[in-house]
Structure 1
Amino acid sequence: IGHTQAAAGVGGVIKMVEAMRHGVLPKTLHVGEPSPHVDWSAGEVSLLTEQREWPALDRPRRAAVSSFGISGTNAHVILEQAPHLVEGPADTEPEATAPLPLLLSARSEQALRAQAAALASRLDGEPTVRPIDLAYTLAGTRTVFDRRSAVVGRDRAELVAGLEALARGEQAGAVVVGDGRQVSGRLAFLFTGQGAQRVGMGRELYASFPVFAAAFDEVAEAYRLLTEESLREALDGESVHGTGVAQPGLFAVEVALFRLWESWGVRPDAVTGHSVGEIAAAHVAGVLGLEDAVRLVVARGRLMAALPEGGAMLAVQAGEDTVAPLLAGREGDVSLAAVNGPSSVVVSGVASAVADIASALKEQGVRVRPLTVSHAFHSPLMEPMLTEFA
């Protein structure tokens, strides 16, 4: 192929994949005669001085590709011909293993229903149209308009039924399944806790969306009245990682994000949160007014930041049942700070105790990762702030 430098290896792969695809052994280029330093009589290896047919045998074709880098780095790979896929009759469908989504959008609800009717007719009347191809085209090549819907089904019949239900206007703007039932459409927002902050967070959103900016400014003004400081300026520097700034900063961004989604018509049925995210959830749900919520967040961050630094937090790739026995008898030093999922928990507490638990988990083959924090949040080390916080 020539001196293609870094692309030599992948160039060789492409060449041999195409050779196997077409059943052709391509001639070796730029070779007038075999090297005299190789005993060609020993064995059955020979140069391809002319292009030859690559016959089909009772085994897949195989080829080796080597790329010899000028730095001395050599890479080698063996390729094997892919199994030949036999196309069945056009009116048969492979057995589905997972639901397939058809994503629709239009400028109006009437146009959306018309599109669903047209797709249902085509999918039902033209066996050569494969559902997976239709799903790919709708998802990747169509213009996205304001009115949207999705139909989900495991096979052609379910998808046609769902499209027909959408065309009748029964489920416009919803997700439907093959028999016309609406998928449980309950939407939840989860607000994150400390650790998600970053320098300049929300800056581009603030500049791009007036709704976001207005909501952020409301929180920032309440923050200024309590602290006499600029929240926006604090978020644009490394001080964002300090507990006293990170918590109100996250609260402001999360509330502003909620108001932005809300302005687009995306309204959750339920909200929940982790750590300081609980306060954001309480505010947007109407449990706490803005001034009260900001006052609570500022006090929480100030009191936590005032505690002696130290302690540690550890992310553990295991379930609660694995970690709980290691916490027994250490209730005053360390605790289970968060259960993020069936195989993801966080341990928090005195640094030495957390280190002991980390060592014990590693011996069991469990992956752990220390978190970069100033304090051991959600642990017994937070108790000295509780009275004043209450």
Structure 2
Amino acid sequence: LIAGNTIKSKQYFIFIFSNQNDDKAFLQRISQQLLLKRTVSYQHSAIFVFLNRQQLKEQINALLTEQASPGLSIISRSTKLLAQKICFVFSRQGPQWWAMGRQLYESEPLFNKWIHLIDAEITKINNGEWRLLEELIKKKNERESRINDTNIAQPTIFAIQVALAALLVSRNIYPSPIISHSAGDQAVAFVAGRLSLEEAVRVVYHRSRLQNCNTRQGGRMLAVSMSEEEVENKLLKDVEHLVCITIVNSRRLVKISGDEKTTDAIQQILSISYPNVFKACVRIENAFHHIK
């Protein structure tokens, strides 16, 4: 049970856990909750750990009377009200870079800690088939990197975004809404508390692994700074069966996805006929989100 409560002008976010079954699983779960501090909307947190209803009753009475009780923990943090609400946006695959996150990894212990936590979870699943630390931190140059392979890119993006979110929260930068797109969904599900770290890593690992089986098969994605209607009328006539609009990012930015040769031809048309229109190939090796 999780609920908000107000006691003597203090608004608490209350965690209530039953510890009857698996002690180890419980401790892992609560440690993750506290480490990331997901209670982003509350200044005060009350955590109850109990074996039976009587213990819970005693702990609640202790909270109401502001007394100490075994299994009851009170956490308070300072908050700074902001004029505007902050939104955390968790991105898709595409903006990855072979050396991303390395300065934060070297200079920020908390960021470093989360990268190692996620590396350990991935290693449990793939039995060391590949290592997050090797791909994200130890590659010496872009030529050696496999960062654009789908099965590598998505877990590394997940790791960077989770570690960065933890770092921001540690600096008292808390989001109000959090949103995601495509491959960012697993990171946002974890940060929102909907999945445990183990669950989120398992999802992103197998999702990317399965998608990677379909890469290098002639697919391409292209970002175009045009409206949806302009792209349909100026670029996709007679090739709709090969390339289609798959993502509408804004009123004047869409992604088209489909056959590699056709997508390259559209890019050439843009360069010749619409030289002032922004266009860029997304750094992936598949026509993601395409209907086929």
Match of 2:162 among 234, 243, 255: 255
In the alignment, which of 376, 379, 388 is matched to residue 287 of structure 2?
376
Q: Find the counterpart in structure 1 of residue 191 from structure 2.
A: 284
8 Å Cα contact 2:243-2:258 kept in structure 1: yes
| One of 285, 297, 311 as aligned partner of 2:219 | 311
Q: Within 5 Å, which residues of 2 pair with 1:94-113?
A: none
* 1:200 aligned residue: 99
Q: Of 102, 106, 117, which residue of structure 2 is paired with 1:218?
A: 117
Per the TM alignment, residue 332 of structure 1 is displaced from its structure 2 partner at its CA by 4.6
TM-score (norm. length: structure 1): 0.47
Q: Deviations over 1:105-151 (max 9, x none)?
A: xxxxxxxxxxxxxxxxxxxxxxxxxxxxxxxxxxxxxxxxxxxxxxx
**Which residue in the other structure is 2:273 paired with?**
363
Alignment TM-score, normalising by the size of structure 2: 0.62
Partner of 1:322: 230
1:350 aligns with 2:259: yes
Conservation of the 8 A alpha-carbon contact between 2:149 and 2:284: no
Once the two structures are superposed, residues 147-192 of structure 1 have per-residue CA deviations (whole angstroms, 9 ceiling, x without a partner) of: xxxxxxxxxxxxxxxxxxxxxxxxx9445xxxxxxx4x32101112
Report deviation, 1:258: 0.4
What is the aligned-residue identity percentage?
Answer: 34
Contact kept? 2:148, 2:283, Cα under 8 Å: no
Deviation digits for residues 82-113 of structure 1 (CA, Å, limit 9, x no counterpart)? xxxxxxxxxxxxxxxxxxxxxxxxxxxxxxxx
Task: Map 1:80-229 to 2 at 5 A.
Answer: 173-174=80-81, 183=83, 185-227=84-126, 228=128, 229=130
**Once the 2 structures are TM-superposed, how far is the Cα of residue 367 of structure 1 from its aligned partner?**
4.1
- Retained in 1: the 8 A contact 2:150–2:215? no
Q: Distance in 2 between matches of 1:323 and 1:349?
A: 14
Partner SS, residue 178 of structure 2 = strand
Supply the distance in 1 between the matched residues of 2:181 and 2:229 (Cα, whole angstroms).
Answer: 21
1:240 matched to which residue of 2?
147
Unpaired runs of 5+ in structure 1? 1-171, 176-182, 382-390
> In structure 1, what is the Cα distance between the partners aligned to 2:113 and 2:180?
23
For 2:267 and 2:99, the matched residues in 1 are separated by: 33
CA distance in 2, matches of 1:199, 1:260: 21
Q: 3-state DSSP class of the match of 1:211?
A: helix
Q: 1:336 to 1:198 in 2, by over 3 A?
A: same
Q: Is the 8 A contact 1:261 1:267 kept in 2?
A: yes
SS at match of 2:182: coil
Partner of 1:130: none
Structure index of larger Rg:
1
Matches of 1:331 and 1:298, distance apart in 2 = 32
Q: How many residues align?
A: 202
Aligned to 1:141: none
Q: How far has the Cα of 1:278 moved from its partner?
A: 1.9
Q: Secondary structure at the match of 2:172?
A: coil
Gaps of 5+ in 2: 1-78, 140-144
Shift in CA distance, 216/367, structure 1 to aligned 2, threshold 3 Å? closer
* Distance change in 2, residues 1:282/1:329 (3 Å): farther
Distance 1:246 1:329, change over 3 A: same
- CA distance in 2: counterparts of 1:204 and 1:308, whole angstroms: 30
Aligned counterparts of 1:186 and 1:316: Cα–Cα separation in 2: 30
Amino acid at match of 1:301: S
SS of the residue aligned with 1:239? coil
